């Protein structure tokens, strides 16, 4: 995978998360994975088309998703990962991926993103790619989110 395609994802995460009330995220791990990811509890997948094709997957524990949703809703307590909390996480994935798309456009790449697909459940396997993909673990004030990036240039 071209490193120039990875940095826009990291830059988007580092830009967007502080805007919604989190400390500046830190990259804690980077590793290659093969084809499938295992859900930590809440998974959101967004697809890319046009000059970039593939997927990005945001994978986190449910307690992290509830904390993020609560932060996005000005501290409203989230005791259950209900429809409102799920909507907040989907919106976060939209914000992150749209910012990534803007960053890719700045590299003179034309991209479109799909509607986010959110799934709840721990331990299931999700196909992300036909081959290897890169996972970047980001830490937002003690809350970890994996960003699985499986994109290539569509030549």
The whole domain housing 147 covers 3-153
- What mean pLDDT is reported for the chain? 95
Q: What's the total number of domains in the chain? A: 1
pLDDT at 154: 83
Tokens of 89: 């996480």
Q: Are 32 and 133 in contact (CB under 8 A)?
A: yes
| Residue 49, SS3 per DSSP | strand
Residues 83-120 pLDDT 10s: 999 999 999 999 999 999 999 999 999 999 999 999 99
Q: Are 73 and 82 in contact (CB under 8 A)?
A: no
CATH number of the domain bearing residue 51: 3.40.1550.10
Residues 41-57 pLDDT 10s: 999 999 999 999 999 99
- CB < 8 Å & 24+ apart, contacts of 104-110: 104/5, 104/8, 104/52, 106/8, 107/4, 107/8, 109/50, 109/51, 109/52, 109/153, 110/50, 110/51
pLDDT at 2: 76
The Cα diameter of the chain in Å comes to: 47
């Amino acid at each position: 995978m071209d490193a120039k395609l990875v940095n826009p994802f990291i830059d988007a995460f580092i830009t967007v998360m502080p805007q919604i009330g989190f400390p500046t995220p830190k990259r804690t791990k980077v590793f290659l994975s093969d084809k499938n990811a295992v859900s930590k509890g809440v998974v959101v997948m967004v697809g890319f088309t046009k000059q970039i094709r593939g997927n990005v997957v945001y994978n986190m524990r449910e307690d992290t998703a509830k904390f993020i949703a609560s932060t996005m809703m000005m501290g409203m307590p989230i005791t259950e990962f209900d429809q409102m909390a799920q909507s907040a996480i989907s919106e976060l994935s939209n914000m992150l991926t749209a910012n990534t798309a803007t960053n890719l456009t700045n590299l003179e790449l034309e991209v479109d993103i799909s509607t986010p697909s959110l799934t709840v459940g721990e331990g299931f396997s999700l196909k992300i790619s036909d081959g290897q993909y890169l996972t970047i673990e980001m830490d937002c004030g003690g809350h970890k989110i994996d960003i699985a990036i499986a994109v290539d240039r569509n030549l």
